[in-house]
Chain A
Amino acid sequence: MYKYDEIDQQIVDERVAQYRDQVRRYLAGELSEDEFRPLRLQNGLYIQRHAPMLRIAVPYGMLSSKQLRKLGDIAKKYDKGYGHFSTRQNLQLNWPKLEDTPDILAELATVQMHAIQTSGNCIRNITTDQFVGIAPDEVIDPRAIAEIMRQWSTFHPEFALLPRKFKIAVSGTAEDRAIVQAHDIGMEFYRDNNQQIAVRVWVGGGLGRTPILGTVIREHLEWQHALTYCEAIIRVYNLHGRRDNAYKARIKILVKALGIDEFRKQVEAEWLHLKDSPNTIAETELARVAQHFEPMPYETLPAHDSNFDAMVASNPAFSAWVKRNVHPHKTAGYRAVTLSLKPHGKAPGDITSEQMHVVADLAAQYSFGELRASHEQNLILADVKLSDLFAVWEKARAAGLATPNIGLLTDIICCPGGDFCSLANAKSIPIAEAIQLQFDNLDYLHDIGDLELNISGCMNACGHHHVGHIGILGVDKDGSEWYQVTIGGKQGNDASIGSVIGPAFSAEEMPGVVQKLIDVYIEARTEEERFIDTVRRIGVAPFKQHVYADKNQAKEGAAA
């Protein structure tokens, strides 16, 4: 993965000094609350229910063992001994003290990490597919360009104070796993007819209050122009995006208001001036950065391992884990492993300091010292030998990291919600826990099969509920907490936004509601169908009918 040179190191070191002074001025009363807010936000610091919350950047999800150990130590020293992996591949600490945050940043800088642009109205941490570089369906490894974009967007002077936050995702696979359509800009890398690297550029996607999937603004962009084309898009947005109303300030609203054709016209006109300007990416720079992402020194291995096959055949628990948590790899004899941060009954995405050390050790011993965070809030060891899988499983299991539920109903994506977040309408973590306990039977869970369930505590949609096959949204009704349910959302190439099934439910009703949705699916599914396929085939009505049947009966009973 990318290693800092002196220039990179100097920038994070200077950032620590700058931030330390900002905190000093704030505590001394030289900066008002309003003036400090945008400054601390650009450093990933929110002020939340209980304490500040610090969001640490994990650029495009890549971490080294050394970095994860440091994160574990920081969580222990400055927080309550755990951290939370977010849907944007970052790590959040929920309880640091404001006065400690400059020291935390200084410690992060020693392992080439920072919290730059993890919040605030600027270009945020760039995200990608967690199987980048190793997925069999990958056409282009976009990490080198993602790193070049990370550098370019870091303290970009023209885009330091945009109308609203700005999220960029990159992807280079046949099957999109980075949700490029749900980002302000999505960069989809492919090989064009001349076998050159090109980008399909999506713009104007985003979830939140007004969920909108992006539109293609340019089918074919040569990779050299990735930065200048983004500059053209963001300049039009910076000048014309709405600043009068925070709910209408994302680029998606501008694109909708102008229409994609007019927006494209303005961007292309701007780009005429920017094309070939010095920020055009040089071949040599791509080559320099790409060296950091060269394939690992893999051994030449057979595609099969008889010991592994024997273990799978004889050990059902291991076999269940292999089925869900082990993924194909470009290289023969290797697999990627997802360590589940979704044990049943615990907050999704949470990980203790001890577990961070275990994962760091596993990565060091079995996966070239690197790992990744996924937007589904799990951790990935990308390069494990088939013959090592059993040992990895045993160690992960001992640390509570081997729940065989990846891609299943209990692999819930969930925001911090009302337990931590001051914007929340309702709690989300207890709902996730209750649903996980309702479906605690693994055989049943495997029988239900692939299913994505997403929970957000309010319409800001941090839990991506709009694109969950089942989406749960916390709503406020007369000061109490309720949950609205959508079905039929999906991420990927055929992304869609879910439809609301009807009036909201109380927290106690939620596990039962999910159970009923599953019952309808089990009843109606054909052999090959996943939950989402059944919803798409039969529509929302049968689900709605079954879920609300009792309620309607109760009403009729009362009327009679």
Chain B
Amino acid sequence: MSNLIALQNDSANIVQDEWTLINLPAAQVEVRKQAGKIVLFKLTGEQSVTEEQIKNTVIPEKGKIIVPLRVFIARNQELAQKLAEGEVGVWLATHELLEDLTTNIADINSLPIIAIFVERFADGRIFSLGTLLRKRYHFKNELRAFGDVLRDQLFFLKRSGFNSFLIRHDRSALDAIAGLKDFSTPYQGAIDDPRPAFKRYNRGT
């Protein structure tokens, strides 16, 4: 069964995924440690993809695909035709820079989907990235979260502009869907409703 939740007009449903996620081929990664502990997060802006990986990424001829940001940038010629046909989306990880996407594309809305990979639940950069894509860069199409995506982030992801959520494979999307409704009247303005409570309601004077 699909583990993808899509939001449409405020109703959330589990839907089939029409997109194929293109992964980078595995690379030799050395384990980084600090004070004896394994480093779990990559720094913002850190280069984590090798030329080798970009070159060796297999791009299928047919079907709708979501390609890694670095591949999208480096191999844009190859992807141009598919992009024009609306069959290319882009994904980036939370440590990658949005500017690398926005400066390498004429019209961000030529992408039917942007997906953001969150490696660890506790990485809240994803919320700022979603907010910026919607507000600063006016992205209007599907914005998806995938990776360590669990029920208790969904409410925040929704408020930060995400409208599709690929729940981690070992968890139930059916259960997670409830998380979208955790709170009915949040205080502050965000992407889903820019007005704070004091502008949405008459709270008296």
Q: Which residues of A contact B (CB under 8 A)?
A: 5, 7, 10-11, 14-15, 18, 22, 30, 35, 38-39, 121, 151-163, 227, 235, 238-240, 242-245, 247, 273, 277-279, 282, 284-285, 287-288
Contact = CB atoms under 8 A, between A and B. Distances in A.
A278 B187 contact: no
Interface in B24-45: 32, 34-35, 39-44
Given A7-B203, A35-B150, A242-B43, A279 B188 contact: yes
A5 B203 CA distance: 8
Interface string B187-205: 1111000111111010111
Interface stretch (B12-20, B52-60, B79-87, B119-127): B119-127
Nearest to B120: A243
B128 A155 contact: no
| Shortest beta-carbon contacts, A-B, top 7 | A161-B124, A157-B159, A243-B41, A285-B198, A157-B156, A151-B187, A278-B189
A247 B36 CA distance: 13
A279 B185 CA distance: 15
Which of B35, B136, B189 has the most C-beta atoms of chain A within 10 angstroms of its own C-beta? Answer: B189
B133 to A, nearest CB: 12
A18 B39 CA distance: 31
B3 interface: no
A238 B188 contact: no
B127 A273 contact: no
Contact of B136 (A156, A243, A273): A273
Contacts of A239: 44, 125, 128-129
B152 A284 contact: no
Contacts of A279: 188-189, 196
| Majority SS at the chain A contact face | helix
Nearest to A14: B183
B204 A288 contact: yes
Interface in B147-200: 150, 152-153, 155-160, 175, 182-190, 194-199
A157 B180 CA distance: 12
Contact of B160 (A7, A18, A154, A157): A157
20 contacts: A7-B203, A22-B152, A38-B122, A121-B124, A154-B188, A155-B156, A157-B188, A158-B128, A160-B153, A160-B156, A161-B121, A161-B127, A161-B156, A239-B125, A244-B41, A273-B135, A273-B136, A278-B189, A287-B205, A288-B198
B60 to A, nearest CB: 33
B119 to A, nearest CB: 11
B203 A282 contact: no
Given A244-B43, A282-B199, A284-B205, 8 more contacts: A18-B183, A38-B122, A155-B187, A156-B188, A161-B153, A238-B125, A244-B41, A278-B189
A165 to B, nearest CB: 12
A154 B188 CA distance: 8
A35 to B, nearest CB: 6
Nearest to A286: B198
A245 B131 CA distance: 25
Given A157-B159, A244-B41, A7 B197 contact: yes
B122 A121 contact: yes
A244 B42 contact: yes
Interface in B41-78: 41-44
A158 B190 contact: yes
Given A39-B152, A151-B197, A235-B128, A7 B185 contact: yes
B194 A278 contact: yes
Nearest to B130: A158
B194 A277 contact: yes
Which of A35, A242, A273, A282 has the most C-beta atoms of chain B within 10 angstroms of its own C-beta? Answer: A35
Contact of B127 (A11, A18, A160, A282): A160
Contacts of B187: 7, 11, 151-152, 154-155
B29 to A, nearest CB: 14
Which of A238, A284, A288 has the most C-beta atoms of chain B within 10 angstroms of its own C-beta? Answer: A238
Contacts of B199: 278, 282
A155 B201 CA distance: 18
A10 B185 CA distance: 8
A157 B197 CA distance: 14
A154 B156 CA distance: 12
Contact of A14 (B41, B42, B184, B190): B184
Contacts of A227: 188
Nearest to B181: A14
A30 B204 CA distance: 42
A38 to B, nearest CB: 6
Contacts of B135: 273
B190 A245 contact: no
Which of A7, A39, A152, A242 has the most C-beta atoms of chain B within 10 angstroms of its own C-beta? Answer: A7
B57 to A, nearest CB: 26
Contacts of A39: 152
A238 B41 contact: no
Contacts of A157: 127, 155-160, 186, 188, 190
Nearest to A249: B41
A386 B54 CA distance: 78
A161 B122 contact: yes
A244 to B, nearest CB: 5
Contact of B35 (A14, A121, A238, A245): A245
A252 B9 CA distance: 41
Contacts of B188: 151-154, 156-157, 227, 279
A523 B188 CA distance: 57
A43 to B, nearest CB: 11
Contacts of B183: 11, 14-15, 18, 155
A107 to B, nearest CB: 20
B195 A278 contact: yes
Nearest to B152: A39
A270 to B, nearest CB: 9
A159 B157 CA distance: 11
A5 B128 CA distance: 30
A206 to B, nearest CB: 19
Contacts of B40: 243-244
A163 to B, nearest CB: 8
B170 to A, nearest CB: 10
A112 to B, nearest CB: 15
B155 to A, nearest CB: 7
Nearest to A291: B205
Nearest to A36: B152
B123 to A, nearest CB: 7
A287 B198 CA distance: 12
A158 B194 CA distance: 13
A129 to B, nearest CB: 24
